[in-house]
Amino acid sequence: MAADRPSDHLDSRRLDIGRIALNVREQGNGPLMLFFHGITSNSAVFGPLMAKLSDRFTTIAVDQRGHGLSDKSESGYEADDYADDIAGLIRVLDRGRAILVGHSLGARNSVTAAAKYPDLVRSVVAIDFTPYIETEAFDALEARVNAGDQLFDNEAAIEAYLAGRYPNIPADAIKIRAQSGYQPVEGGLRPLASPAAMAQTARGLRSDLAPAYREVTKPVLIVRGEASKLVSAAALAKTSRLRPDLPVVVVPGADHYVNEVSPEISLKAITNFIDA
């Protein structure tokens, strides 16, 4: 049982939620806190944050559909599909309502789930994804996503590629991505994330998120990296006009990858929000 597990013990397994099987990493004890990564990423990127929070919470990071070691269906990559997965997971876990922490795609999905299934959610930390993201930002994101499906000779080549692609992410966080996000294939290593799923997911990110933000009744903390190239200052300001009651934290010096670039500030923002 969870209550008997040491807070530093990490358990990785797949859970069948009926509609799909999701790979999860679990650590700690206490109220349920779920973590949802960005597009092309996986649950491992939240390991450092989970380690800091596992003495207070049952922290569970999820490989979302199409990503990591979770199922990769041929279709079903819209916001509602991901939100339905979150609801199914919370029900299968059967540990009460969950705090949702999501980055980028994960933030979109978490807010959508909170709006659609308020009885399953306590609150949401939405990291660097809001309504009103400009078309040019989505164009750049989609180009990066589609360029990521490459064959690499070895892990060192992956690290070099990721370091160039994410210049502000520290080396230890780059190593986590390199070690967890790729699989051996003939001739080298390829991303675990399904290229077809990534393409569909990237298109789906363009859907209007304003209705979910308008409808959500649970507490939502909006976190933006000050130097984010995805969520502009204008998009954030427009979101705050839509929901002036939602608190906002802008992380100095951080780009889009806030929780990896500035883990200590991310931790403080999450704990301050929850404690408040």
Q: Which one from 41, 54, 104, 194 is the annotated catalytic residue?
A: 104
Q: Which of 128, 228, 255, 266 is catalytic?
A: 128
Write phi, then psi, for 156 (nearest 5 degrees).
Answer: -60, -40
The verdict on whether 256 is a catalytic residue reads yes
Please name the residues in contact with 167: beta carbons below 8 A apart, sequence gap of 6 or more: none
| Model pLDDT for residues 34-91, shown as the tens digit of each residue | 999 999 999 999 999 999 999 999 999 999 999 999 999 999 999 999 999 999 999 9
Site of tokens 């994804």: 129
CATH no., domain 2-134+207-275: 3.40.50.1820
Contacts of residue 47, Cβ cutoff 8 Å, sequence gap at least 6: 10, 25, 61, 176
- 240 among known catalytic residues: no
Lowest model confidence (mean pLDDT) among 10-14, 65-69, 141-145: 10-14
Give the per-residue pLDDT at 4.
54
Query: What are the beta bridge partners of residue 47?
Result: none
What is the residue-averaged pLDDT of the chain?
Answer: 96
Task: State the catalytic residue, choosing from 37, 67, 103, 256.
Answer: 256
How far does the chain reach from its first CA to its final CA, in angstroms? 29
Instruction: Judge whether 73 counts as a catalytic residue.
Output: no
Pick from 16, 12, 26, 5: which is nearest to 92 by CA? 16
Structure tokens at 39: 């597009």
**Residues 2 and 58: beta-carbon distance below 8 Å:** yes
What would the pLDDT profile of 222-269 be if each residue is shown by its tens digit? 999 999 999 999 999 999 999 999 999 999 999 999 999 999 999 999
Q: For residues 267 and 52, is the Cβ–Cβ distance under 8 A?
A: yes
Domain ranges of the chain: 2-134+207-275
What integer is the mean pLDDT of 151-179? 97
Q: pTM score, two decimals?
A: 0.96
